[in-house]
């Protein structure tokens, strides 16, 4: 059957129209049927498509628009954000209170320091042996149970009859639960915010809260201890964990487990092997871990460096605060002012060159220049926004909870290792030399990892 085209619509022409007809009656046959066949059906077909097209076009600017406001527009994220702030406050207060409490009971600086260090050491065990919990069970249940376990530990620590050994053991339990909680929460964010730009911004906000805790949390904890005893401060910790559990229970909806079956430990270890066995995921993880491992050196050696240059305790506080301030500023700028494409473009340059400012240390500049150096080094942490997106895209959904838990456990563990190695090196060399050497060694490692990330996928 021949066809006649009008605009973009193809309309069949009937056989009667092909037969030769007298010229007189032809116009009524063609003009009469044409309006309903050609003009009538076209508007209903085209008009619904135009609004859809316009909606798609209007969505593009929304996706390209930057800023944190769309993240806070998601009700579930507001609950997760507030719960994170409360539980983090609980952890910070418990660390201070427990350190003071153990020192008061024993008079031992070693045990007091151990009470603080135990916040890092069990991460690797919890992150590897319990990683499967994040995928095996519904996320909301895992998060609430983790908060309740931490609340129970805080309640036992607050009891006057709890001995020092039990205090340290309970601190280990909280530390072992933390990577499971953090990994589950990270994986849940992809379900609450999607695995696109909103997830990246949501993760950034949680990191900003964590960095802010470094600046204000310990100060508030110290003020709190001037009004209440250490065990009383642990009661405050109990309250924050319970409040977080309530927020997560009633502020988020139930979601099914991602996977399951078999022994939990075997399931967790198999997930860890899958995560580290994938070349792309392994490269991204190492790039997420390596810069923080090296960049903690100036903070770990802040007291020793302040003594080396003679700036006193006030200088220690400034040296400790400068890098977190730079990190917060860098993340806020990248999240609020850069598009997703721009954040992706800065990942490899910032990750590879973020430690270069530390090379200023051996030149022995004044305190002001060192503070600017630390601010600059901290601001390069903005690379994590784009790298978070690559990591989520690379990890299969059924592996996501275990991958996030391994990421959290590895990050905390490797920072502890970095602090210990920096301290050990400072026993033999000047702090300025150690930090400069960390800048050189760290830059070489990060450049190699950036090249590996580029090779394993589109950067």
Asked if the model's pLDDT at residue 411 lies above 50, the reply is yes
Closest CA to 85 of 248, 250, 240: 240
Q: What's residue 222's pLDDT?
A: 66
Closest CA to 9 of 28, 48, 37: 37
Higher pLDDT, 412 or 373: 373
Q: What's residue 445's pLDDT?
A: 95
pLDDT per position as a tens digit, 41-92: 444 444 333 333 333 333 333 445 457 888 888 899 999 999 988 888 888 7
* Residue 335: C-alpha distances to residues 203, 299, 326, 340, 391 (Å): 10, 25, 14, 9, 17
3-state secondary structure of 149: helix
Closest CA to 282 of 131, 449, 397, 402: 449
Place of tokens 């007298």: 22
Identify the sign of the CA torsion 391, 397, 402, 408.
positive
Place of tokens 């603080």: 116
In whole angstroms, what is the distance from residue 44 CA to residue 87 CA?
55
Q: What's residue 19's pLDDT?
A: 43
Q: Tokens at residue 416, please?
A: 């502890």
3-state secondary structure of 5: strand
3-state secondary structure of 6: strand
Q: What's residue 313's pLDDT?
A: 66
Q: What number is the average pLDDT over the span 172-200?
A: 83
Q: What's residue 346's pLDDT?
A: 92
Share of the chain above pLDDT 90, in %: 25
pLDDT tier for residue 255 given thresholds of 50, 70 and 90: confident
pLDDT per position as a tens digit, 259-311: 666 677 777 777 788 888 889 999 999 999 999 999 988 888 887 888 788 87
Give the end-to-end CA distance of the chain in Å, rounded to a whole number. 53
Q: How far is CA 32 from the centre of its chain?
A: 67
pLDDT per position as a tens digit, 338-389: 888 889 899 999 999 999 999 999 998 888 899 999 999 999 999 999 998 8
pLDDT tier for residue 34 given thresholds of 50, 70 and 90: very low
């Amino acid at each position: 059957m021949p066809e006649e085209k009008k605009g973009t619509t193809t309309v069949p022409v009937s056989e009667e129209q092909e037969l030769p007809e007298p010229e007189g009656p032809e116009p009524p046959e063609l003009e009469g049927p044409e309006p309903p066949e050609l003009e009538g059906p076209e508007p209903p077909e085209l008009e619904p498509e135009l609004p859809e097209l316009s909606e798609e076009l209007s969505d593009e600017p929304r996706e390209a628009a930057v800023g944190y406001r769309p993240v806070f527009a998601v009700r579930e994220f507001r609950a997760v954000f507030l719960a994170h702030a409360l539980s983090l406050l609980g952890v910070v207060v418990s660390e201070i209170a427990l350190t003071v409490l153990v020192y008061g009971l024993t008079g031992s600086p070693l045990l007091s320091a151990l009470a603080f260090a135990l916040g890092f050491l069990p991460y690797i065990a919890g992150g590897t042996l319990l990683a499967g919990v994040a995928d095996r069970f519904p996320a909301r249940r895992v998060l609430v149970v983790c908060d309740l376990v931490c609340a129970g530990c805080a309640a036992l620590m607050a009891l006057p009859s709890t001995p020092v050994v039990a205090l340290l053991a309970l601190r280990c339990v909280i530390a072992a639960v933390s990577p499971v909680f953090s990994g589950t929460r990270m994986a849940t964010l992809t379900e609450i915010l999607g695995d696109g730009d909103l997830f990246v911004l949501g993760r950034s906000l949680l990191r900003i809260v964590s960095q802010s805790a470094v600046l204000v949390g310990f100060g508030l904890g110290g003020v709190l201890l001037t009004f209440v005893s250490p065990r009383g401060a642990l009661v405050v910790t109990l309250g924050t964990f319970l409040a977080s559990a309530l927020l997560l229970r009633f502020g988020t909806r139930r979601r099914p487990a991602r996977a399951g079956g078999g022994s939990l430990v075997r399931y967790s270890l198999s997930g860890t092997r899958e995560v580290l066995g994938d070349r792309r995921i392994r490269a991204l993880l190492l790039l997420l871990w390596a810069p923080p491992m090296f960049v903690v050196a100036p903070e770990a050696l802040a007291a020793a460096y302040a003594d080396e240059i003679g700036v006193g305790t006030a200088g220690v506080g400034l040296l400790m605060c400068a890098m977190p301030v730079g990190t917060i500023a860098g993340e806020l700028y990248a999240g609020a002012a850069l598009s997703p494409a721009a954040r992706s473009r800065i990942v490899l340059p910032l990750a590879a060159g973020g430690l270069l400012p530390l090379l200023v240390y051996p030149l022995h500049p004044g305190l002001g220049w060192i503070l600017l150096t630390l601010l600059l080094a901290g601001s390069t942490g903005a690379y994590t926004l784009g790298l978070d997106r690559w990591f989520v895209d690379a990890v299969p959904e059924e592996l996501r909870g275990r991958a996030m838990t391994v990421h959290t456990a590895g990050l905390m563990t490797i920072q502890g290792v970095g602090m210990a190695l920096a301290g050990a090196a400072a026993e033999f060399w000047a702090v300025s030399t150690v930090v400069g050497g960390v800048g050189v060694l760290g830059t070489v490692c990060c450049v190699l990892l950036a090249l590996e990330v580029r090779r394993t996928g589109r950067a």
